[in-house]
Amino acid sequence: MDELKKLYLLHTGSQVEKVRELIPLSGSNRRYFRFVGERNMIGVIGASVNENNAFIYMAGHFRKKGLPVPVVYCHSDDKLCYLQEDLGDTLLFNAIEKGRQNGVFDEGERRLLHKTISLLPSIQVLGAEEFEFSQCYPQSEFDSRQVMWDLNYFKYCFLKAAGIDFQESCLEDDFQQLCKVLLQDRSTTFLYRDFQSRNVMIKDGEPYFIDFQGGHKGPVYYDVASFLWQAKANYPKEFRDELLDSYIKALRSFIPVDEADFRNQLRHFVLFRILQVLGTYGFRGYFEKKPHFIQSVPFAINKLRELLCEDYSEYPYLCDILRKLTALKQFSEEHQKRILEVKIFSFAYKKGIPNDMSGNGGGFVFDCRAINNPGKYERYNAFNGLDDPVIRFLEEESEVTAFLNHVYMLVDASVKRYLDRGFTNLMVCFGCTGGQHRSVYCAQHLAEHLHKKFGIKLNLIHREQNMEQYFATTL
């Protein structure tokens, strides 16, 4: 952190005024910080020098090509940390949240998605021009080793963990055949590798690419499969076909495209990508014990079910195993309904503690009345805990920060346990004198904290303010 502050001072000539850590919902070991001051920037600390070096090189190269990626302003001598452009807080994933929830995308969401998929060929083809693939990490090219790594990752981290019996040699034969099909195209284009809506930022209505440091030389199909068949994207087939048409049209401005051949080859990459994703979910969830990855598995299984409606005659044994996998009880529709929902209330004690409508009882009730009360001062009477004057008042009183840190520790532990055990309801209440200032502030902050950390479904109710907010699951 001190090194980042020094970089900020050297680059801007001024001290940073405020630092806030950003918590990404990903498997990354990188840490991100927003530096607020004369100029807002994002500070990054990464444990891998090679990975950092890859990102710094790629960002510089893509910017020279006029591609929408963040500027890297400067880095430490050892390249363990660097400062980059602040693109704001809007991920494409969040910008299309309503559509993802119900499968109906409005005009604004559709426009953003068409813009994004139409930009993809520019980074794949134009970005590959004069690109030094030796700078890539951990490898420079999509090859048979990487394919087999990912397939074996799926086999050992997911299939075995799910309890599926299989004949190693038969499965290996089909893996080899899939590898052969995937490597038919030996193009020199750039393969992003993790092109999905969480790796696209929206700034001033335009998409920007981030987190491309794992990219290397490889065929364009992989990224299309990653984006359009993302486990939690929830694109209807008709809309997905529209987006694919936009991609192919944009790709044709760079290279010739035989559409029938393209679509045929793409379906094999879709299958491969879903297996790779399940391998990641298995490792992060079953082995690293990260609950939100386990909760993500049913979304990928649903995509696999949809895919297996087609005939993959090239891989008969693999498809037989995958059908057995999708039929497992833990991936049934009934099991998928067991998603945790946390209800968070703010309330006034004089009107009573909210009832638990789930019938389970229990949960947490936190008394905020020991925190200094803005309600004592007439100037705050027209405001509640969501308004800036009250927020500033409370945050200048260090006791609310300490109070919430204790709350986070207690509630986080319960959420983790509830996710592990498949529980579906947890209730957390914050009470104060009038249910207007302190309880509203604390309830809002807990909801935002839990959603960022776990991606769980939340129902936030400020009872006395007659306000309600839903946070959809991102699991």
Tell me: the pLDDT tens digits for 372-413?
A: 999 999 999 999 999 999 999 999 876 899 999 999 999 999
- Predicted confidence band of residue 91 (pLDDT cuts 50, 70, 90): very high
**Going by C-beta distance under 8 Å and a sequence separation of 6 or more, which residues neighbour residue 419?**
291, 292, 294, 295, 340, 454, 456
Q: Which two tokens stand for residue 360?
A: 């389970």
Q: 51 and 213 in contact (C-beta within 8 Å)?
A: yes
Question: Which phi and psi angles does 377 have, rounded to 5°?
Answer: -110, 130
- Report pLDDT for 284: 83
The rounded distance, in Å, linking the Cα atoms of 393 and 407 is 20
- Report pLDDT for 234: 83
- Predicted confidence band of residue 245 (pLDDT cuts 50, 70, 90): very high
Q: What percent of the chain has pLDDT over 90?
A: 74
Mean pLDDT of the region 205-228: 97
- Predicted confidence band of residue 333 (pLDDT cuts 50, 70, 90): low
Q: Which two tokens stand for residue 46?
A: 């990464």
The rounded distance, in Å, linking the Cα atoms of 343 and 353 is 13
* 3-class DSSP state of 37: coil
Choose the weakest-confidence range: 56-70, 86-100, 281-295: 281-295
The rounded distance, in Å, linking the Cα atoms of 198 and 98 is 15
Question: Which phi and psi angles does 459 have, rounded to 5°?
Answer: -125, 110
**Going by C-beta distance under 8 Å and a sequence separation of 6 or more, which residues neighbour residue 206?**
68, 115
Res. 261: pLDDT tops 70: yes
Nearest Cα to Cα of residue 31 among 39, 15, 40, 20: 20
Q: 153 and 276 in contact (C-beta within 8 Å)?
A: yes
Residues shown for the chain: 475
Q: What percent of the chain has pLDDT over 70?
A: 95
Nearest Cα to Cα of residue 446 among 429, 432, 431: 429
Residue type, 45: I
Structural domains in the chain, CATH included, are 2-85 (3.30.200.20), 92-336 (3.90.1200.10), 341-471 (no CATH)
Beta-sheet strands, E only, within 99-199: 190-191
Res. 24: pLDDT tops 70: no
Residue type, 355: N
Choose the weakest-confidence range: 189-193, 267-271, 354-358: 354-358
Tell me: the pLDDT tens digits for 131-161?
A: 999 999 999 999 999 999 999 999 999 999 8
Nearest Cα to Cα of residue 429 among 452, 451, 398, 460: 460
Mean model confidence pLDDT for the chain: 91
Residue 63: other Cβ atoms inside 10 A: 15
Residue type, 157: C
Whether residue 138 has a cis bond before it, omega within 30° of 0: yes
- Report pLDDT for 334: 47
**Going by C-beta distance under 8 Å and a sequence separation of 6 or more, which residues neighbour residue 364?**
407, 410, 411, 414, 427, 428, 429
DSSP letters for 257-291 = --HHHHHHHHHHHHHHHHHHHHHHHHIIIIIT--H
